[in-house]
Structure 1
Amino acid sequence: MVRRAAAVSRMFPRVSPVAGIGTYVPGATLVHRAPAGLKLALLIIVVTGVVASQQLWAALTAVLVAGALYLVAGVGPRHIAPVLVPLTPFLVLIGIFHTLSADVHSAVRVCAQLTAMVLLGGLVTCTTRVSAMLALFEWLLGPLRHLGLRPERVALVLALTVRSIPLAATVWRTSREAYLARGLRGRPHRMVVPVLVRLIRSAESTGEALAARGLD
């Protein structure tokens, strides 16, 4: 497990803090030093509590606490923006839907719940190395080894999934910048093919890197 975690850690080095959700932001704060298992457990407990309570004050408190934790971890506003900006259009649509189908109070509560979940989830990924997450997943899935399942393979898939979120966002942003640099406007569907090609090439490179390290 240690060998596999180290190999994955080398495959996914430290990247820019503004790359988006799923990106590790180096630091030595208390939030960074907390065990991955503890952070994941607290995330599940808090999110479950906020959703189960169905209270606006609980959702707003969770948002404020998440914001405070970002500051404690040294992950300031410029790191929070890439997490929230992609969520904004969905929050607007959800808010309108709940306002029309229920009331404004429900709309604000649901939007606050979603914001808190995304912020807290983003905080965990921003302050936890991929190798630590991988080791945690392997440990959690360990009992399934008796059923013939290989925990290390499932953990690797989960780790790669987490990593693919910021990668896809980065590829889309790069393609869009290249599209605009050529003086093109409108017809965003033209970026679909370049994005897919880059993602496929990235997947092939990842597969080759895994094979080269014996992670078959």
Structure 2
Amino acid sequence: MIQLYSPGTSAVHRLGAGVKLLILATAALALSLVPPSAWSIAGALAAVISLYALARLPLRVLVGEIWRLRWLVLVLGGALLVFVGPVAAWISTGRVIAIVLLASLLTLTTRMGELIEVLRGLLAPARRFGIDPESVTMTIALTITMIPVVAGFAAQVREAQRARGARSGLRGVVPLMVRTLRHADEVGDALAARGAV
């Protein structure tokens, strides 16, 4: 769902990382706390899509981001449709999609180094409570960068299953976990070799 930096010179790319984080946090808070309507959610989604256009990202990028959310839409939307009805299902699912697409836009238009610097600055006051800002920011950065890596592993596992004529299912979880844990070990070894842990 969340992609890494895509170079560009648009107004969205040039906007500071701190401002973009503030916009994301404000939008997520507003979408979560303000009682929405079906029309306001449609407006929020239209606004997020227009931000992708403002960032001058290719249409395939937006389509790819939406495609990655298909299972979330099917599972969450389907469950809500059954239990609370179509309007509430649209509002709740649309809210989640808007926030995730906005978070993806943040990582697509902001270098990881800039995000880390902003997060480190925000977490600096926590040092007086015994929290190490560098460790927390590194953990967040690793988490963000691992999401597309694990998604890539999942795609490779699916392709391997299709090549063997096997159906996708729970059997694909084991090789995905093995690849993910192996990659985590390699990252841990690299960090240890550099004295980062």
- TM-score w.r.t. the length of structure 2 is 0.89
1-structure distance, mates of 2:25, 2:124: 20
2-structure distance, mates of 1:24, 1:32: 10
Matched, 1:27 2:5: no
What's 1:8 paired with? Answer: none
Deviation at residue 169 of structure 1 after TM alignment: 0.3
SS of aligned partner of 2:69: helix
What's 1:50 paired with? Answer: 31
Gaps of 5+ in 1: 1-19
SS of aligned partner of 2:141: helix
1-structure distance, mates of 2:184, 2:118: 24
What's 1:149 paired with? Answer: 131
What's 2:141 paired with? Answer: 159
SS of aligned partner of 1:203: helix
Deviation at residue 187 of structure 1 after TM alignment: 5.6
Asked whether the equivalents of residues 161 and 167 of structure 2 are also in contact (C-alpha less than 8 Å), the reply is: no
Matched, 1:81 2:63: yes
What's 1:207 paired with? Answer: 188
1-structure distance, mates of 2:77, 2:152: 28
Q: Considering only aligned residues, what root-mean-square deviation do their CA atoms show, in Å?
A: 1.9
Asked whether the equivalents of residues 4 and 145 of structure 2 are also in contact (C-alpha less than 8 Å), the reply is: yes
Matched, 1:64 2:46: yes
Matched, 1:194 2:175: yes
What's 1:38 paired with? Answer: 19
Which residue identity lines up with residue 212 of structure 1 in the other structure?
A
Structure 1 stretch displaced more, 40-49 or 148-157: 40-49
Matched, 1:173 2:150: no
Deviation at residue 163 of structure 1 after TM alignment: 0.7
Deviations 1:49-88 (A, max 9, x none): 2331322222111111111111121223211233222322
Percent identical residues: 32
2-structure distance, mates of 1:98, 1:193: 30
Deviation at residue 213 of structure 1 after TM alignment: 2.8
Gaps of 5+ in 2: none
The 1:98–1:190 alpha-carbon spacing in structure 2 relative to 1, beyond 3 Å, is closer
Deviations 1:7-63 (A, max 9, x none): xxxxxxxxxxxxx52321111211112111111111111222233132222211111
Aligned residues: 196
- TM-score w.r.t. the length of structure 1 is 0.82
2-structure distance, mates of 1:187, 1:22: 24
Deviations 1:134-173 (A, max 9, x none): 1111111101111221110010000000111101000111
SS of aligned partner of 2:2: coil
SS of aligned partner of 1:215: coil
Asked whether the equivalents of residues 21 and 82 of structure 1 are also in contact (C-alpha less than 8 Å), the reply is: no
What's 2:81 paired with? Answer: 99
